[in-house]
Amino acid sequence: MKLLKLAGLTATALSVMACTNTLNSIDRDGVLENPKYEDLYWPAIDDATQPEGIFPNLESLDHIGPGVTKKDLYYMIERPHFSEMNGAREWNYIMKFRQADRSVKICQYKVLFDKDEVAQNFYWLPKDCLTEKFDLAADALFPFDKGAMKDIKAAGKVKLDKLAEHITSLGNKAKIHLVGHTDYLGNEMYNQRLSQQRSASVARYLETKGVNGANITTSGMGESQPVKHCSTDISRKALKECLQPNRRVSVEIVR
């Protein structure tokens, strides 16, 4: 009987240790004792009690910051997804975010608490989890050598309509940066102007579809940032086709 009681006490102690476990060294103010992001320890997703994670309410995420309590977090994004409850100085979550191409990005989210169990610091893995980057092929948006909003192709409008729908679904609070790029055919200064015109035209079109223009910035890089290099020992038509990936509008969305 004594052995059974001892075993029961040991199991209880181990259970409490699991629930109060802290993966990183955190001081009384909720700050990492080793502040290097690269040295942060993250639990393996396979070890989670809820490995499938959640699609968080984006408005709730906006309200999370220094000073929120565990009760606040439980209300906004529910319980942590690992065995970290009673007295734990950090909580870890698995978050899922729908991307513009309808794929799902999976991230980890860490909350650090001070000695009073008030949240003070927050981290994402990957670090740029809330940033979405992709390219729109300029040839799908504009006829060759064109860049005004009136020049946007019908197929290009379909793509931009879907992009606008995605951005507004994020609560229309995301910061959008559009960067136009061209190939190196033609005059360098002309290409610079064309790239800027195209990014500005895309921005104006998105505004007509309800995207908050105050959150959009645009720039043009001309031919200065190619993603593909082609032999010049081919016909101009073949060269134009080969350089197609360089003609693009890069999109960066920061939630």
User: Where among 77, 93, 125 does a domain terminate?
Assistant: 125
* Residue 13 confidence class, pLDDT cut points 50, 70, 90: very low
213 plus 234 within the same structural domain: yes
Instruction: Report the distance separating Cα 19 and Cα 86, nearest Å.
Output: 6
% pLDDT > 90, the chain: 85
Q: Where are the beta strands (DSSP E) in the chain?
A: 90-98, 104-113, 119-125, 131-137, 175-181, 216-220, 248-254
DSSP state, residue 26 = B
Question: Same domain for 138 and 247?
Answer: yes
Residues 86 and 181 in one domain: no
Are 22 and 82 in the same domain?
yes
- For residue 173, what is the domain's CATH number? 3.30.1330.60
What contacts 24+ positions apart, CB below 8 Å, involve 123-126?
A: 123/37, 123/40, 125/40, 125/42
Who's near 65: CB < 8 A, 6+ residues apart? 119, 122
Confidence check: pLDDT of 90 > 60: yes
For CA atoms 186, 189, 192, 193, the dihedral sign is negative
Are 247 and 153 in the same domain? yes
Residue-number span of the structural domain to which 120 is assigned: 2-125
Point out the domain boundary residue: 108, 125, 142: 125
Q: Are 112 and 141 in the same domain? A: no
The sheet that has 216-220: what strands, in order across it?
A: 131-137, 248-254, 175-181, 216-220
Are 156 and 219 members of one domain?
yes
**Same domain flag for 12 and 61:** yes
- Flag whether pLDDT at 98 surpasses 60: yes
Whether 151 and 117 map to the same domain: the answer is: no
Shared domain check, 207 and 110? no
Structural domain count, the chain? 2
Domain end position, chosen among 59, 94, 125: 125
Q: Give the whole-number percent of the chain exceeding pLDDT 70.
A: 91
Same domain, 6 and 23: yes
Q: What's the confidence (pLDDT) of residue 8?
A: 43
Determine the longest span between alpha carbons in the chain, in angstroms: 90
215 close to 176: Cβ distance less than 8 angstroms: yes
**What letter represents residue 197's amino acid?**
Q
Please tell me the pTM assigned to this model. Answer: 0.85
Can you tell me the mean pLDDT for 177-195?
A: 97
